[in-house]
Amino acid sequence: MEVYLDNSATTRVYDEVAALMSKIMLEDYGNPSSLHNMGVRAEKHIREASEILAGTLRVKEKELIYTSCGTESDNIALIGSYMANKRAGRHMISTKIEHPAVKEPLKILKEAGAEVTLLDTDSHGCVSTGDLEKAIRKDTILVSVMHTNNETGALQPIEEIGALLKKQDHRILFHVDAVQGYGKAHIYPKRMGIDLLSVSAHKIHGPKGVGLLYADESVKLKPVIFGGGQQKGMRSGTENVPGIAGMAKAAEIIYGNIDAKLDKLYELKSYFTGELKGFKELLSINGEKENVRETAPHIISASFDGIRAEVLLHALEEKGIYVSSGSACSSNKPSLSETLMAMGAGKDRLDSTIRFSMSFDTTKEEIDYTLSALGELLPLLSRYRIK
């Protein structure tokens, strides 16, 4: 049996997505900027995709910018808004648990003169709006907080933050990295006070190499990629037509009947975590909450005391079970998790954390198979525990 529990790293492309993309690549392969019929057909795919994607977020189609990935969306959101708004102020606020796609551009902006405050989290991996309120200054121009943490599944208080920022006397843009949240939650930027939102197709059973940045029409943003002026100059480069259409098809499928799918996934998560507790001498679950609905439906971060994550990962792999250690979606270099450190985890826990991430297609049989593999492996591996 093969069990893929690494859906936060990437997902299997839905069959309908692959079929649509293949059709576009083979038949409707025109450049959407071309004036002839082939161009018009390609452009129509983008228009149809925008209608679907804007519909899932309840925003206007013209507020969508297509990018090459979630990382690019985050970069445009941060660098583009800094460049456009730095006269109003140079202070930006984010958190210690952001993905490198947010942290790294913030480091670059710091070198370019920005002042950056990174908020801590509580032991569940959540930032507090109280801390955020204290960090706001007269020259704060942007706050960037992720929707769902990619390592622990901790949900951040996005609506509360949106409301807090809207109450300030000066405009503070609110960017949300929703790469792990989109497709697993209802996210409505206009209602939640979100000005900029990043999405990535490959996390929702769409293709790799395509993403989306929602930017409210009132946001001042400068491009970071220059060229032929596509997408009203906001992101030059020929649009990835099959990718954009594939992302929209994936979004349409994932948001279809989503409430029932979420109920089932939360039930599966509760079952999985409940059964994992059988390994209680070894196990800690990071970011767990009494109410599972206050966490992401698909991510479980589990530390097995004294058992090196990489050893367990490869032992599970031999049984056909694929998981991640820490946040392997960002890099294959082992590095200590800044997210777990922000939550106060000690070095032992950092070395022994496995992330299981499910999709709406994960079955109870797959979870039972994983639990029985852990039941075999953990007693063996715990004999060689590092202490």
Catalytically annotated residues? 329
Residue 176 lies near ligand PLP (rule: CB under 6 A): no
Candidate ranges 153-161, 172-180, 233-241, 371-379; the one touching ligand PLP (CB under 6 A): 172-180
Residue 156 lies near ligand PLP (rule: CB under 6 A): no
Binding mask 247-286 for ligand PLP (x = CB under 6 A): ----------------------------------------
Residue 69 lies near ligand PLP (rule: CB under 6 A): yes
- Rounded to the nearest whole angstrom, what is the least distance from the CB of residue 272 to ligand PLP in the complex? 20
Candidate ranges 37-45, 174-182, 241-249, 299-307; the one touching ligand PLP (CB under 6 A): 174-182
Whats the size of the chain, residue-wise? 387
Q: Name the residue nearer to ligand PLP (CB basis): 146 or 367.
A: 146
- Rounded to the nearest whole angstrom, what is the least distance from the CB of residue 145 to ligand PLP in the complex? 11
Residue 200 lies near ligand PLP (rule: CB under 6 A): yes
Member of 329, 342, 374, 381 binding ligand PLP (CB under 6 A): 329
Q: Which residues of 296-333 are buried (b: 16+ CB within 10 A; e: fewer)?
A: bbbbbbbbbbebbbebbbebbeebebbbbbbbbbbeee
Binding to ligand PLP (CB under 6 A) within 82-141 occurs at 99, 101
Q: Residue with CB nearest ligand PLP?
A: 70
Residue in this structure with the two tokens 């971060």, named with its chain if needed: 301
- Rounded to the nearest whole angstrom, what is the least distance from the CB of residue 207 to ligand PLP in the complex? 11
Candidate ranges 16-24, 68-76, 81-89, 348-356; the one touching ligand PLP (CB under 6 A): 68-76
# residues near ligand PLP by CB under 6 A = 15
Residue 146 lies near ligand PLP (rule: CB under 6 A): yes
Binding site for ligand PLP (CB under 6 A): 69-71, 74, 99, 101, 146, 150, 177, 179-180, 200, 202, 211, 329
